[in-house]
Amino acid sequence: MNSLAARLDALRGSGPAVPHTAKTLAALTANPACDRRALLDAAGVDKDTLAAHLNLPRPLRPSTIACDHGIAFERRVTAQAGTELLRLLRETLDLTLPEASYEDVNAVAGREPSTLALRCTHTRNVILGAARDPARSRTLLDHPVLRLTVAGHPAYLEPDIVAFQHHETFHIVEIKSFPVIDGQADPTKVAAALTQAAAYILALRELLAEEDHPPERVSSQVVLVNPRDFSHRPTATLADAAQKVRSLSQHLGRLRRLPDLLDQLPPNTTFDLAPDDTAGPTRPREDLAAALSAPHAHYSPGCLHHCELASFCRNEARRKSRTALLGTTVRDDIAGIDTIALALDLTDGREHPSSDRADITEALRHAHRVHADFLAGTT
């Protein structure tokens, strides 16, 4: 075990590591400047259990009905050896009929977490074999398991489908249950799907690089399959994930700063939940909260949608009167002024601005005058 791995293990403590998933990688790109989240994820801390132990309200999760709907839609699309999916791919990717064949990796070893490494090896063999010899390749690989190196650790990722050997180029297919209505899907949901797909693209490129295949063998064009309008009928569209791939690559590169982040923590800091025999956390809450407060957080209201610790960080931001509470637009507009109290003091003249804050102070005072005129009814 290298020293970084040992330090991260000590930070996590005695519980088992929770591996990265495409969703946690997507959350990483949602708030790349947050050291707290980077450390928690890199150490594999069980954030869900940690949040529950601290009695934090949880982010909204999809309902059971929504989950069941998503599973039913995926089954419909891939049923009968992917017959419906093949039809969609032929239309979207112009696949020709002789290229069409299908394999479900789950048929090799089931879906249990214990078989993850086995399924990953099988996926690897099939994909590398296909990359070497496109003539004998399969077109669709259902439930593949890919491996992506994150901060020196393997993360296992499970895309819906890898469709490959279309002009010797691999494509990721994401089956999503949010609808496309009149040809338009919710852009926020599309962006989230592409961020997840970016992790799969990078993992596939990492795999192919083992045998010196160029990254271009994996397309950044992702096939999104969604229900059409208000029906259960699927429709497929191509969406470009290139920007998301670049962004995720950068953020993964930033994880190289982990040793620096660990160096900045007070000695012996640990997020250990001290689980008992039944895996229930026993660590005193104040103790855990103090440890959690050690790394720098970069809270924004968007955290409420993607991070288990959002309430903890929001309370901290409130206590410290952080401008981030007002949203990223305000925070960026008055960058360099970190607290609401300081912004008010500069506006009211209680604080004299330094030269680098003169422009922002003038803008704040102007906004204050406009607001005061508005309240007085003189505008």
Contacts with ligand SF4 by CB under 6 A lie at: 31, 34, 36-37, 297-299, 303, 307, 309-310, 313
Q: Report CA 19 to chain centroid distance, whole Å.
A: 13
Closest CB to ligand SF4 among 180 and 307?
A: 307
Using a 10 angstrom Cβ sphere, with 0-12 exposed, 13-18 middle and 19 or more buried, the burial of residue 299 is buried
Which CB, 148 or 303, lies closer to ligand SF4?
A: 303
Q: What is the residue whose two structure tokens read 């075990």?
A: 1
Q: How far is the CB of 293 from ligand SF4 (least distance, A)?
A: 11
258 versus 307: smaller Cβ distance to ligand SF4: 307
Which of 307/364 has CB closer to ligand SF4?
307
Long-range contact pairs involving 90-99 (C-beta distance under 8 Å, separation at least 24): 91/236, 92/223, 92/236, 92/237, 92/238, 93/163, 93/166, 93/171, 93/223, 93/238, 94/166, 95/139, 95/163, 95/166, 99/139, 99/165, 99/166
Closest Cα to residue 306, out of 195, 148, 201, 203?
195
Q: Supply the minimum distance, in Å, between the C-beta of residue 303 and ligand SF4.
A: 3
> Residue 272 Cβ, how far from ligand SF4 at the closest point, in Å?
17
- Give the nearest distance from C-beta 311 to ligand SF4 in angstroms: 8
Cβ proximity to ligand SF4: between 36 and 244 the closer is 36
Nearer residue to ligand SF4 within complex by CB, 83 or 315: 315
Q: Nearest 5°: phi and psi at 153? A: -110, 145
Closer residue to ligand SF4, CB minimum distance, 244 or 298? 298
Question: Shortest distance, CB of residue 344 to ligand SF4, whole angstroms?
Answer: 23
CA of 136: how far to CAs of 133, 144, 161, in Å? 6, 18, 18
Q: Which helix (H) or strand (E) holds 165?
A: strand 161-166
Q: How far is the CB of 316 from ligand SF4 (least distance, A)?
A: 8
Considering the complex, what minimum distance in angstroms separates the CB of residue 250 from ligand SF4?
17
DSSP string, 121-157: HHHHHHHHHHHH-GGG--SEEES--EEEEETTEEEEE
